[in-house]
Structure 1
């Protein structure tokens, strides 16, 4: 008994014919017929009967099919496992983010676990990130709230309020908070259109009947940060993205109900079965669970 003979028998049995089995295995029909014939002759057993030009399994054929189902099922599982392991040893993962700050811990943990996967990170805003993912130019997006989540698999990362920030030399730097009405008195440095931070801020101002014209419109968070640090005006960012590593800048809370930015990890729902994407989402969940556990332990010890 040879593997090729069992494989030929199995495909004839599940497809219902020699020609269909030959097509599935990329062989000729005579080759398939010969393999099945040799198997039957070697063990002196009839596996198929021919009735009105149809191929029907004999009782012995049915019993053998039950065995080959297990055999080739296990083979398929083994192949899937091996391919999965290979896909996570090598490959590439493309991320586009409005701020890489939200996934720094995830990136570190992912790279430790899957060092063979090359990760590239590009910058974007909410609008461009959605376009990049739907155009298959990136695998994973990191961004604020989505207007339409239907085509995406979404994992929540964190929630933080939008704050203002200014250079320490700026006249507003000594303020404990600022209202939207007061903001209109200062030069404002705004992100480009499509930024979720800007959209939320302008919507709140419009709802309050306040005009917030920008003095400078800059593309990207780092450009806004540099202009603000040079004393150009007041900028805006989520508290989670502000950081405390730039001694030139101070944060200024905004008055009123907090404008909450919900940062999320997303991928196209139709691509959620990609092993690398699954692994990154699982890593993000593990990091979030670990952070929550650490916070709980700190609260109990305090």
Structure 2
């Protein structure tokens, strides 16, 4: 069995792209293609389907990817362990986050301290971010309201508060103390999808307080909520760490119980001693 061929397949399976796999392995794209073609021809098996947009795994490819991810994950850990005493002059860190606002300052500090480190950042919702970490597609992740679980190391970062998002000139802006949660009863609102952490926290607080807002629109991004509020389609909600600087909208505090979210930095417990992950955790807490 040719380990170069398996390594090339594993890289394509992880990244979903021959181009990105070539960059990961520091070889040419034709070399990656050649390794995988040789692997498929030798074992008379189809592992990948090439589509116009991306590369997809066949059923056999999915099974093999689960094995190679474990193999080369351990190889990467061994290499990191052997280089633990070296300065972090080069390396690659896979980072996942459920929003850009908290992670970007961390990446700025990482770049300032270790300019040779390459970072791949995955942005997604809370479920996608946790899944990326647990499947080891990410080395570290910035998470919100994640439950402790075996094998997962979590470090508290900060907490945020749910705020109301209103258009410029809204009468609620007259009171710097903000509004009470009860004032949102029967108010027309534009909110994120129910799986959003911000939406879930807000819904739980409303249910506890007996508040029933009228949800006009459910939107799949923070940007869409901002545009809907700016268009005066309704009141939105936003985390205090994700407030837009858009002059068309303003965030105001909501006074009430259950409107706080906890943010954490996470990695897999068995990998927390790896040098690059340690460095990121140290910078995140500084």
Q: TM-score, length-normalised on structure 1?
A: 0.61
Residues 164 and 253 in structure 2, CA contact (< 8 A), matched pair in contact too:
yes
1:241 corresponding residue in structure 2 = 242
- Matched residue, 2:276: 276
- CA-to-partner distance for each residue in 1:137-168, whole Å, 9 max, x for gaps? 22221121212343321111112221111111
Mapped to 2, the partners of 1:219 and 1:144 lie a distance apart of 17
Question: Which position in structure 2 is the counterpart of 1:204?
Answer: 205
State the Cα deviation string for residues 242-274 of structure 1 (Å, max 9, x = none): 15x322222222122362222111112122233
The match for 1:186 is 187
The match for 2:129 is 129
Structure-2 separation of matches of 1:200 and 1:80: 39
Count of paired positions: 207
Per the alignment, residue 65 of structure 2 pairs with none
Whose radius of gyration is greater, 1 or 2?
Answer: 1
Matches within 5 A, 1:136-147: 136-147=136-147
User: Larger % of strand: which?
Assistant: 2
- Residue of structure 1 equivalent to 2:74: none
Structure 1 residues 202, 252: CA separation in 2 closer, same or farther (over 3 Å shift)?
A: same
CA distance in 2, matches of 1:171, 1:240: 23
User: Which residue of 2 is the match for residue 94 of structure 1?
Assistant: 94
CA contact (8 A) 1:187 1:234 kept: yes
Q: 1:226 — aligned with what?
A: 227
Aligned 8 A contact 1:163 1:238 in 2: yes
1:236 Cα shift? 1.4
Distance 1:123 1:215, change over 3 A: farther
Deviations 1:49-89 (A, max 9, x none): xxxxxxxxxxxxxxxxxxxxxxxxxxxxxx98872366833
Alpha-carbon distance in 1 for matches of 2:263, 2:198: 11
Deviations 1:168-189 (A, max 9, x none): 1445444553333332333212
Q: Secondary structure at 1:236's aligned position in 2? A: strand
Q: Indicate conservation of the 8 Å contact 2:186/2:212, yes or no.
A: no
The 2-side partners of 1:197 and 1:109 are apart by 27
| Corresponding residue SS for 1:278 | helix
Unaligned runs of 5+ in 1: 1-78, 288-302
Could you say if the C-alpha distance between residues 164 and 151 of structure 1 is closer, same or farther in structure 2, counting changes exceeding 3 Å? Answer: farther
Deviation of the 1:238 alpha carbon: 2.1
Question: What is the aligned partner in structure 2 of residue 108 from structure 1?
Answer: 108
2:207 match: secondary structure:
helix
Checking the alignment, whether the CA contact within 8 Å between 2:143 and 2:264 is kept in structure 1 is yes
Q: Could you tell me which residue of structure 2 aligns to residue 118 of structure 1?
A: 118
| 1:1-302 matches, cutoff 5 A | 83-84=83-84, 88-170=88-170, 172-174=172-174, 176=176, 177-242=178-243, 245-257=245-257, 259-285=259-285, 287=286
Flag the 1:258–1:96 CA change in 2: closer, same or farther, 3 A.
same
Kindly tell me: are residues 80 and 157 of structure 1, through their superposed partners in 2, closer, same or farther at Cα, counting changes over 3 Å? closer
- In the other structure, the counterpart of 1:64 is none
Relative to structure 1, the CA distance from residue 122 to residue 257 in structure 2 (aligned partners, 3 Å threshold; closer, same or farther) is same
Q: So what's the TM-score if we normalise by structure 2?
A: 0.64
